[in-house]
Amino acid sequence: MKVLLLNQCFWPDVMATAQQLTDLARGLTERGHQVTVITGRRGYDDPELKFQARERRHGIEIIRVRAIAAGKSSRWRRALNFASFLAAAALRLVLIGQQDVVVALTSPPLVSWLASLFTRLKGGRLVFWVMDLNPDEAIAAGWLKPESSTARILSRLLQSSMRHAARIVVLDRFMQQRVLQKGIAPEKIAVISPWAQAIHFDQQGREAFRREHGLMEKFVVMYAGNHSPCHPLDTVLAAGLQLAGKKDIAFCFVGGGSEMRKVKEFAQSHELPNILCLPYQPQEELAAVLSAADMHLVVMGDKFSGIVHPCKVYNVLAIGAPLLYIGPGASPIGDIVRRISNSATAMQAKHGEADLVTRIIGDAAIAFALKRENHLHSQTRAANLVETFSKATLLPMFIHEIETLDARSQPVTEEAAKLQSA
């Protein structure tokens, strides 16, 4: 089977969608399928990074197109970046022959519509992998007014993509409900969560990272990944300010995104030595970086349940570190916290509850110090969830959805939905 994958980022980019798509590409080639990827030539978060225009890796044909890198400091700059990638990808698609299946993600937002146009003109089946929903995200963030002409046009294009898709893969039951509300037939939708990367707790890497960044004697609270307005960090920063006098507690923000500048400015303006900001780290060091934390933060904005999905939580589960979730209870992460049902492993707070977050972190730091004094291992694993959200469990489900497009049956979808339900 000839399979075309379409997304703005792919290996060696470290963005979550790049990692997930790379896993899918490798899984498909290992099954004997002919896989081609059309993606961007520049790093998604760091446009200074440039990758080879064309290469073949693990049997995957990778075609990287040029696009304008105007930065992300304003909406018009983002729009220019997206539009230039779509134009370059469209020109490349003219040269691509018919594919049996096209898998389109959501970066940039209209790439699924471009894929639907390609399959209409050249044939093949479209699988729409919904990593986030736009214009829903832009409307929830206040970037677009629901009644604006731009929002209406984007909504029509999204629905056009969904109607034409042979299969729509969503990440959780809340996203499934939003797609159903758009008038999409339920039998067209599969619920398959993102999966954890193939990582595990790395004691040696943990010590090396903590030693390099002066964290050896600290209780480290980490937020790792995309710093986006969809994941507001105001409550975390307020807690960091309250804990500024606790020299044994450090906050480590690792990654990129438009909100990273806000974190840096907050730390600088309040002269907070307990906040450390680092860029995205190399993919091969992911286990070491995540293992360095004593508590991980997972954050979702109140308006974004069913629109975005914080993939970082699955790597946190794989590492086995305690997590503190800040966001709405009616969300996929809220479901996971309830399934863990262990107050020492998974905790939850609402946005604005800075005092509660401060208390949770302070109590966890004290408990960690007692464990360290008694030489007790602090790693905790929700073993059943680690298996549920592993690549070994979920990637074959996704591949099955692709391989059975012409002989559609429901058991896999039902199984996936059960795995995601609380």
> Which pairing describes strands 54-57 and 346-349: parallel, antiparallel, or unpaired?
unpaired
Contact 173, 379 (CB under 8 A): no
How far apart are the C-alpha atoms of 8 and 200, rounded to whole Å? 28
The whole-number pLDDT of residue 409 equals: 39
The whole-number pLDDT of residue 348 equals: 96
Q: In DSSP terms, which residues pair with 220 in a beta bridge?
A: 250
Of 413, 422, 277, give the one whose Cα is nearest residue 339: 422
User: Is residue 279 classed exposed, middle or buried when 0-12, 13-18 and 19+ CB atoms within 10 A define those classes?
Assistant: exposed
Of 304, 308, 312, give the one whose Cα is nearest residue 280: 312
The whole-number pLDDT of residue 283 equals: 86
Angle between helices 260-269 and 234-242 (to 10 degrees): 20
CA 95 vs. chain centroid, Å, equals: 31
Contact 184, 112 (CB under 8 A): no
The whole-number pLDDT of residue 382 equals: 67
The whole-number pLDDT of residue 420 equals: 41
Walk across the sheet containing 60-65 and list its strands.
54-57, 60-65, 34-40, 2-6, 101-104, 125-129, 167-170, 189-191
Contact 23, 58 (CB under 8 A): no
Of 193, 151, 149, give the one whose Cα is nearest residue 169: 193
The whole-number pLDDT of residue 14 equals: 86
The whole-number pLDDT of residue 221 equals: 98
Count of alpha carbons within 13 Å of 257, Cβ hemisphere only? 20
CA 130 vs. chain centroid, Å, equals: 11
Expressed in angstroms, the distance from the first to the final Cα of the chain is: 36
Structure tokens at 203: 């004691």
Contact 286, 197 (CB under 8 A): yes
One-letter amino acid for residue 246 of the chain: K
Walk across the sheet containing 323-326 and list its strands.
275-278, 249-256, 219-226, 295-299, 323-326, 346-349
- pLDDT tens series, the chain, 422 aa: 999 999 999 999 988 999 999 999 999 999 999 999 999 998 887 888 899 999 999 999 999 999 887 666 567 677 788 889 999 999 999 999 999 999 999 999 889 999 999 999 999 999 999 999 999 999 999 989 999 999 999 999 999 999 999 999 999 999 999 999 999 999 999 999 999 988 899 999 999 999 999 999 999 999 999 999 999 999 999 999 999 999 999 999 999 888 899 999 999 999 999 999 999 998 899 999 999 999 999 999 999 999 999 999 999 999 998 999 999 999 999 999 999 877 778 999 999 999 999 999 999 999 888 876 654 555 565 667 888 999 999 999 999 999 999 754 343 444 444 444 44
The whole-number pLDDT of residue 370 equals: 84
Tell whether the torsion through CA atoms of 343, 347, 353 and 357 is positive or negative. Answer: positive
Contact 124, 26 (CB under 8 A): no
The whole-number pLDDT of residue 377 equals: 53
How far apart are the C-alpha atoms of 135 and 289, rounded to whole Å? 33
Q: In DSSP terms, which residues pair with 250 in a beta bridge?
A: 220
pTM of the predicted protein model: 0.90
Within a 10 A sphere around the Cβ of 220, how many other Cβ atoms? 23
